[in-house]
Amino acid sequence: MGMEVRMNVIKRNGQEVPFDVRKIQNAIKKANESVDKLHQMNPYQVEAVADNVAGRCRDMGRAVSVEEIQDMVETGIMEMRGYEVAQSYVRYRYKRSLARKSNTTDNGILSLIDQSNEEAMQENSNKNPVINSTQRDYMAGEVSKDLTKRILLPEDIVRAHEEGIIHFHDMDYYAQKEHNCDLINLEDMLQNGTVISETMIEKPKSFYTACNITTQIIAQVASNQYGGQSFTLAHLAPFVDLSRRKIRGQVIEEREECGEPLDEAIIEKIVARRLKQEIRSGIQTIQYQLITLMTCNGQAPFVTMFMYLDEVPAGRTRDDLAMMIEEVLNQRIQGVKNEKGVWITPAFPKLIYVLDEDNIHEDSPYWYLTQLAAKCTAKRMVPDYISAKVEKQLKKGSVYTCMGCRSFLTVEESQKNEDGSYKFYGRFNQGVVTINLVDVACSSEGDMDKFWEILDERLELCHRALRCRHERLKGTVSDVAPILWQYGALARLKKGETIDKLLYNGYSTISLGYAGLSEMCWRMMGTSHTSPEGREFALKVMQRLNDKCAEWKKAENISYSVYGTPMESTTYRFAKCLQRRFGTIPHVTDKNYITNSYHVHVTENIDAFHKLKFESDFQKLSPGGAISYVEVPDLQNNLDAVLSVMKYIYDNIMYAELNTKSDYCEVCGYEGEIKIVTDENGKLVWECPNCGNRDQRKMSVARRTCGYIGTQFWNQGRTQEIKDRVLHL
């Protein structure tokens, strides 16, 4: 025999383990011994069936599931004419499956507590699955999922989800009436007061207090929803001048008391110095509080901080905002200390920096901030960049942030502020259902007419699933989350009033997600969507998704929008389902992941500039949210390269980020890129290239997986995707 091919089996709890032929032999032996001697197979036949199954598994070239192996065993016994043995085996299987069905949740929960449920544990790279509060959230999630699948959702939608035809996101929060993500109306809450945990919070009288209240608001909001949230620093900018005046009064008072002369130049100097110190403390409060807070779902709040100079009037307020942005960037470059006292890259808050005329050219007044942002991106992977120029073209002249990592509100004529500008703060997203485009292509077997027919059927399925999300939120009373619905984060409804009016007429959006545009093209066209004919087909498909959303919106007055799904756990699940349904097809189902939204495949060689230019056409057709990235090496010593990419983003694409590397090995102190290698069991593991350390507890790795930075490691599918990424610079 040549080299032994390593194979893995996917157990029912999602864990991947090495294939062991003895387990198959034992199962057949048990079934064999349970029938009378006359009908038993001989030992050679038992071994032959087991070897035959092992061979078939090996030929599949992918991890096989326990169910698939059992099907093969059944067929194998029948082929040996061991009918009675086969019957016994089937009966045993049926009995076991009944026992499992009676309470699927028990195993899920128990395996979570034992930390062996790999699927659940690596579902979210920002949750540490060992911690009690996370486990509690996951346990509640398992129960909610069970209720949702058995009782709350129509059977065909659950089946489509299980088969990976669609993905019904955040099923673990569906039983509760929670929404997905939003833009916090911080301005309303700070200027007009709010209530937190039944305590009246009045308008803050200083910048530092405003920062403190902001972190409290964010924690409360995060505990009442399951998706990301964003706030803008512009809403905090007016409080800088409040502090300036307050400090000035104190300085004059102190000098008078001490009999010092009231020299204007000296007073100015002291005030400026103390104000700078207050800004530093305020920003530090936000950055530190947010990563040390633990919300009720066992993680730091998924929060994005928006930095857009022109969101406030030119003059003193804008200069104050610039001071705040400078402080945010400086503190982020430094990072945070881990328990060993080493400065590492924090995952939150995510930062978005808007590129505009007043900061993008060498002679722009705020160019120094853009240079600082480049330095920060090179070291800490954030900020990400929004081009004011391109966003204005796509969003009717508006510039605004996404909700969390990439979900964008749509511009709605029905939603305007008193001054006539479009309203964004206070609006939210109701939830996401994603269509697996690769499955549509594989199901149509490359036949174009069939493809469009199946696509329309599947879109209708997604539509019904999205309606389930919408109906679930209907009738929710504002009292379930006072901070959101009564005290200004999203609205100021009365006690006992339902949120129904906010679900229609453009106040909130609901998202049709899509995944695997690249693999879909390979299956239908035999080429990637970066080829001219592939691109034309891919854009047509994207247009169809948009047309459907427009049709549903017109009929129902619900704002459906097309959304480039962040594929964290979905990517692996979809890939496994595709392999099971269609086998291994080169470029289509031959990986343990499928590609994020419209992205160029991670293995495709393309330079940063061509990639951004190519993907910008698809961002236009993803109005409900999308983000593009370029994969770059460590650029800390090449800030000119970072700045040239930033300038290119400004001219060509609305929203993009640079995936840099910044890891740390605690064993040897190595700071650079920790690599992914394959271990002796065929499993992907992280290894320090300097000292060979493979203990995940002794390294800190930060990678961007879907717009957010993850720091708690990833499932095998996502790890393979990270390993396969090629550099674009």
Catalytic residue among 278, 311, 568, 631: 568
Chain-centroid distance, C-alpha 124: 8
427: its two tokens: 């609006």
d(C-alpha 650, C-alpha 657), whole Å? 12
* Set 189, 211, 403, 688: catalytic member: 403
Burial of 414 (0-12, 13-18, 19+ CB in 10 A): exposed
d(CA 591, CA 572) in angstroms, rounded, equals: 9
Q: Residue 476's closest CA among 179, 117, 83?
A: 179
Verify whether residue 181 is a known catalytic residue. Answer: yes
Query: What are 189's two structure tokens?
Result: 């809450």
**Phi and psi at residue 134, in whole multiples of 5°?**
-65, -45
Q: Is 403 a catalytic residue?
A: yes
Query: Position 578: which residue type?
Result: L
Q: Tell me how crowded residue 49 is: count the other CB atoms within 10 A of its CB.
A: 26
d(CA 71, CA 53): 10
259 is catalytic: no
519 is annotated as an active-site residue: no
**Cα distance between residue 723 and residue 712, in whole Å:** 16
Cα–Cα distance list, 160 to 67, 83, 165, 546, 645 (Å): 18, 34, 5, 22, 41
Catalytic residue among 563, 593, 650, 708: 563
User: Is the CA virtual torsion 168, 170, 175, 179 positive or negative?
Assistant: negative
What Å distances lie between residue 253 and 204, 262, 272, 273, 284, CA to CA? 22, 10, 16, 17, 28
The residues facing 656 across adjacent strands are 385, 628
Phi-psi region of 537 (alpha: psi -120 to 50; beta: other; left: phi over 0): alpha
132: annotated active-site residue: no
Beta strands 384-387; 428-436: pairing state = unpaired
Residue with token string 């979210």:
124
Q: Does the annotation count 405 as an active-site position?
A: yes
Distance CA 682, CA 440 (A): 31
Residue whose C-alpha is closest to residue 469's, from 519, 513, 516, 511: 511
Place of tokens 């890891």: 663
H or E element: which one contains 219?
helix 207-222
Angle at which helices 66-79 and 43-60 cross, to 10°? 140
Distance CA(520)–CA(539), nearest Å, equals 12
Active site residue 563: yes
DSSP 34: T
42 is catalytic: no
Of the listed 14, 564, 707, 710, which one is catalytic? Answer: 707
Active-site residue among 180, 508, 546, 700? 180
Q: What is the C-alpha to C-alpha distance for residues 600 and 517, in angstroms, rounded to an integer?
A: 9
Q: Which residues pair with 677 in a beta bridge?
A: 685
Non-local (6+) Cβ contacts of 283 within 8 A are 211, 324, 327, 328, 331
Q: Are 596 and 406 in contact (CB under 8 A)?
A: no
In angstroms, the Cα distances linking 449 to 455, 460, 480 are 10, 17, 48
Q: What are the CA-CA distances from residue 349 to residues 64, 230, 464 (Å)?
A: 39, 9, 34
Compute the half-sphere exposure of residue 417: CA atoms within 13 Å on the CB side of its CA: 12
Strands (E), 367-507: 384-387, 428-436
Residue 659, phi then psi, degrees to nearest 5: -90, 95
- Active-site entry in 243, 429, 561, 628: 429
Catalytic residue among 7, 181, 376, 524: 181
Residues labelled catalytic: 180-181, 403, 405, 407, 429, 563, 568, 707
